Amino acid sequence: MFSMTDYRQLVQYAGYALIFLAVFIFTRTLMTEQENMSTQENLREMDGKKSQNSLVRLTRPFFTQYILPSVRGRPVFEKYRVKYRRKIISAGLKQQITADEFISFKILLIVVFPIIAGLIRASDFYDVPNFAFLALPIVGFFYPDFWVNGLITARHKQVIKSLPFVVDLLALSTEAGLDFIGAIQKVVEKAVSSPFIDELEQVLKEIKVGSSRAEALREMALRINLQEVSSFVAVLVSADQMGASIGKVLRQQSDQIRVLRFLKAEKAGAVAAQKLMLPTFALILPAIFIVMMAPFALQAMQGGN
């Protein structure tokens, strides 16, 4: 028979169990709700971004849903987050991928590349060697860096190519009576779209929302991350602060940019000439020697017979 004390202890333990069960259900409900919200947020971000890279488009549902929640906001990735955010902006990918997504993409490719190689080997399409399965995770991890660095290089070439022409247009517009902001507006409207024109358009947007002209130009220099543009912006900001004529400064900058561009072309030509010397001596001269000496060799062989 149970005594009154035993009944009280039984009721007490049952109360403890119910409290624990209620806390567990409540905590589990909150965690599930948070996971659903995080997944929906990732899916909304994924729908609003269209990457030009086909591999990013194919793998985005996986790294945004399964890897991104573990990367986002973690202090251990902060150093890489700052590094890749700068690269993404310089590559013109700000509207396509975030720094956290880029890190998640790199982590996913560590697994994806060996899986693709395993499928190729299993299908007997190609006998992938064993050492490739050790190298492919490294290749997968660094592939996004090669991709972004290539985009940065190509974008820098486009900016350097269009910079003298755009500066000439700005100089002509200011000499025609427009202020500097009006000149930028006119160039953005009339010039053919290019990375530098897009950056000038972003400068106008930042000025409209309250940034000063100097701050907007410095932000443009940071985004492009190119020495020529940084020097150009520094001269413009200094001239603006000193009250100098913007039109005259733009004309001087245009001439200087063209001279630097010509010097770089001469340097590239000299380097190309040096690179051509080795194949010239290794391939062309032996061929000329064979053509010149072949008749004498044939005559000697015939005379010997």
| 230-262 pLDDT tens trace | 888 888 888 878 777 777 888 888 788 778 778
CA–CA distance, 282 with 284 (Å, rounded to integer): 6
Name the more confident of 80 and 132.
Answer: 80
| 136-176 pLDDT tens trace | 899 999 999 999 999 999 999 898 888 888 888 888 888 88
What is the average per-residue pLDDT within 270-281? Answer: 79
CA–CA distance, 15 with 19 (Å, rounded to integer): 6
- Provide the residue ranges of all domains of the chain, joining segments of one domain with +: 7-154, 156-262
CB atoms near residue 42 (< 10 Å):
21
Among 85-89, 95-99, 115-119, 245-249, which is the least confidently predicted range?
245-249
3-state secondary structure of 97: coil
Q: Residue written as tokens 């072949």?
A: 294
| 189-206 pLDDT tens trace | 888 888 889 899 989 999
* Enclosing H/E stretch for 231: helix 227-242
Among 90-99, 148-157, 178-187, 269-278, which is the least confidently predicted range?
269-278
State percent of the chain over pLDDT 70.
Answer: 83
Name the more confident of 230 and 304.
Answer: 230
CA distances 44 to 52, 58, 66, Å, are: 18, 16, 15
Query: Nearest CA to 253 among 164, 162, 181, 174?
Result: 164
CATH class of 156-262: mainly alpha
What is the average per-residue pLDDT within 52-59? Answer: 85
Q: For residue 3, what is the DSSP state? A: -
